[in-house]
């Protein structure tokens, strides 16, 4: 099962990917996570990506397409994968099609999670992430038991550099201009499922599973 999670910043793609990994036993490939790791480790990729990310802009297509090409070639992707945050432009989507076609593969379902801007801003300004295990929390919607401390590993929680309100507004603009055209792109291919992202986390997850399992039946 090859899936894409599409949706604006803060739609809950990472939150849902964590449950989808468990249920379908396929890896999550998050270009944002890969880029943040490179920034933290100050690799040449990280040095190149940092200014784009901190300003809320997209890292150039050729850079992220290269990352995905290498990642999809790894053994754990042979039974399927969940793309989270890729593709983000029409060029990226076309390159992905080329890559998959060359391997006789295809995307089975694109789960498009829709949420209004005001809700997204609240979610992103309140998001906190564990420095050690990477689990996400929210100061209001999913607070840790002890403020600033991860429930799972007791690591320190931090706020992402691009979760400042000004940068969030830029990211939402970039999403509308450069990423939202993918909704039409995948609707035309007949593989897009619309998911109401304002619901509770569990309800969104069950809607996603229903959409995925519907497409599994369609393919049989
Ligand atoms: P990336 O890391 O991909 O960020 P994003 O798409 O902006 O998405 P987020 O991680 O911010 O949000 P999410 O949808 O995963 O929400 P989450 O589940 O955490 O990209 C970062 C940057 O990297 C980009 O700006 C760009 O510079 C670069 N980049 C990455 N990919 C690229 C690409 N392909 N091309 C070019 N550049 C690229 O949830 C958010 C919060 O809400 C959490 O606190 C959570 O607890 C809470 N929450 C989630 N669901 C709910 C719910 N149902 N109800 C209440 N609260 C909820």
d(CA 76, CA 11): 26
Q: In whole angstroms, what is the distance from residue 6 CA to residue 183 CA? A: 8
128 CA to middle of ligand 1, Å?
Answer: 12
Percentage, residues of the chain above pLDDT 70 = 98
CA distance 91 to 27: 24
pLDDT band at 107 (very low <50, low <70, confident <90, very high): very high
**What's the predicted TM-score (pTM) here?**
0.95
Give the pLDDT band of residue 186 (cuts 50, 70, 90): very high
Mean pLDDT in residue range 208-213: 96
CB 96 within 8 A of CB 109: no
Tens-digit pLDDT profile for residues 143-181? 999 999 999 999 999 999 999 999 999 999 999 999 999
9 Cα: distance to centroid of ligand 1 (angstroms): 4
- Number of Cβ within 10 Å of residue 115's Cβ equals 20
> Is there a contact between 204 and 111 (Cβ–Cβ < 8 Å)?
no
Catalytic residue list: 13, 88, 127, 160, 171
Which tokens in the block code for residue 180? 């939202």
Q: Which of 198, 212, 25, 33 is nearest to 116 (CA)?
A: 198
Q: Which residue minimizes the CA distance to atom 49 of ligand 1?
A: 12
pLDDT given at position 219: 45
Of 179, 159, 19, the C-alpha closest to 114 is: 179
| Cα 46 to ligand 1 centre (Å) | 18
Bridge partners, 2 (sequence order): 81
Q: Tens digits of per-residue pLDDT, 15-49?
A: 999 999 999 999 999 999 999 999 999 999 999 99
- pLDDT given for residue 220 in this prediction: 41
For 189-215, what is the mean pLDDT?
A: 95
Atom 29 of ligand 1: nearest residue by CA position: 32
Residue ranges lining ligand 1, Cβ < 6 Å: 7, 9-15, 31-32, 35, 52-53, 56-59, 64, 85-86, 88, 92, 123-124, 127, 136, 138, 141-142, 162, 171, 200-201, 204
Kindly write down the DSSP assignment for every residue of 157-169, as one continuous string: EE--GGGSHHHHH
What is the average pLDDT value for the chain, to the nearest integer? 95
Residue nearest to ligand 1 atom 40, measured at CA? 10
User: What's the pLDDT at 214?
Assistant: 86
Backbone phi, then psi, for 106, in 5-degree steps? Answer: -155, 165
Q: Which two tokens stand for residue 129?
A: 């992430």
Q: Is the pLDDT of residue 218 over 60?
A: no
Residues whose CB falls within 8 Å of the CB of residue 81, separated by 6 or more in sequence, listed in order? 2, 3, 26, 27, 28, 29, 72
């Amino acid at each position: 099962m090859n899936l894409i999670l599409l949706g604006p910043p803060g739609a809950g793609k990472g939150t849902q990917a964590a449950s989808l990994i468990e249920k379908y036993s396929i890896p999550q490939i998050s270009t944002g996570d890969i880029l943040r790791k490179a920034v933290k480790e100050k690799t040449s990729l990280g040095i190149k990506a940092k200014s784009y990310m901190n300003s809320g802009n997209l890292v150039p297509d050729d850079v992220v397409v290269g990352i995905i090409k290498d990642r999809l070639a790894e053994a754990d992707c042979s039974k399927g994968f969940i793309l989270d945050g890729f593709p983000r432009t029409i060029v990226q989507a076309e390159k992905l099609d080329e890559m998959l076609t060359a391997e006789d593969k295809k995307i089975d379902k694109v789960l498009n999670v829709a949420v209004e801007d005001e809700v997204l801003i609240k979610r992103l300004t309140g998001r906190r992430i564990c420095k050690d295990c990477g689990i996400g929390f929210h100061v209001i919607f999913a607070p840790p038991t002890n403020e600033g401390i991860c429930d799972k590993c007791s690591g320190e929680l931090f706020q992402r550099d691009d979760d400042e309100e000004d940068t969030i507004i830029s990211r939402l603009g970039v999403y509308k201009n450069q990423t939202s055209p993918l909704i039409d792109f995948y609707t035309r291919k007949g593989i897009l499922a619309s998911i109401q992202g304002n619901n509770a986390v569990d309800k969104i997850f069950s809607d996603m599973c229903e959409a995925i399992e519907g497409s599994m039946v369609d393919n049989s």
